[in-house]
């Protein structure tokens, strides 16, 4: 990993870049496995400036950015999600994205460690996430970090109801 990659917390001035990187990485990862219509419906809903601005200003939500030379090349979105996991001591990793051209440079590991550090610094006892059942590379990455499957949920992509594995990593005893 180059020493010019670093993590910082996002702020409202990062909205445009977050929209771009989010949409780009989502298409890179899932574009060839979904219909163009479903993909576009999801992108329109989740990666517009109003949506990302709202997410950035939502309490108990943190975006960790990986930057290189003032360009965002990846990010993680952490949030408290009491709807799907009522444990108030658990923090969800809702997204963890690295631009494809930077895969293999240990930036996913850098972001994951940032997620763990953030959770511990804020007294959370566990991290959890949802990962598409047809994404073996991501599942293996999370297992390597000690995440274990504890259930499933539906991830709606346009009109396609997909199954995500729910995975959790205990950080400390509650």
- Provide the β-strand partners of residue 162: 155
Instruction: Give pLDDT, residue 2.
Output: 46
Spatial distance between the Cα atoms of 13 and 104, rounded to a whole number of angstroms: 28
Inform me whether the pLDDT recorded for 148 exceeds 70.
yes
Is residue 97 annotated as a catalytic residue, yes or no?
no
- Domain-wise residue ranges, the chain: 5-170
DSSP SS3 for 104: coil
Spatial distance between the Cα atoms of 141 and 119, rounded to a whole number of angstroms: 19
The active-site residue out of 42, 102, 124, 142 is: 142
Percent of the chain with pLDDT over 70: 94
Instruction: Give pLDDT, residue 3.
Output: 52
Residue 57: band (very low, low, confident or very high) from pLDDT cuts 50, 70, 90: very high
Inform me whether the pLDDT recorded for 83 exceeds 80.
no
Residue 173: band (very low, low, confident or very high) from pLDDT cuts 50, 70, 90: confident
The CATH superfamily assigned to 5-170 is Gcn5-related N-acetyltransferase (GNAT) (3.40.630.30)
Nearest CA among 9, 116, 138 for reference residue 67? 9
- H or E, element range at 64: strand 61-68
């Amino acid at each position: 990993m180059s020493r010019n990659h670093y993590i910082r917390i996002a702020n409202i001035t990062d909205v445009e870049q977050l929209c771009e990187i989010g949409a780009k990485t989502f298409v890179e990862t899932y574009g060839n496995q979904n219909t163009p219509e479903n993909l576009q419906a999801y992108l329109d809903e989740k990666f517009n400036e109003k949506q990302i601005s709202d997410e950035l200003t939502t309490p108990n939500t943190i975006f960790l950015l990986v930057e290189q030379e003032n360009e965002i090349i990846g990010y993680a979105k952490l949030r408290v999600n009491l709807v799907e996991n009522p444990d108030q001591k658990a923090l969800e990793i809702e997204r963890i994205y690295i631009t494809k051209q930077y895969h293999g440079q240990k930036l996913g590991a850098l972001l994951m460690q940032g997620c763990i550090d953030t959770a511990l610094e804020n007294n959370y006892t566990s991290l959890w996430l949802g990962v598409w059942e047809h994404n073996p590379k991501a599942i293996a990455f999370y297992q390597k970090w000690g995440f274990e499957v504890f259930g499933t949920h539906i991830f709606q992509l346009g009109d396609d109801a997909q199954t995500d594995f729910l995975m959790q990593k205990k950080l400390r005893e509650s």
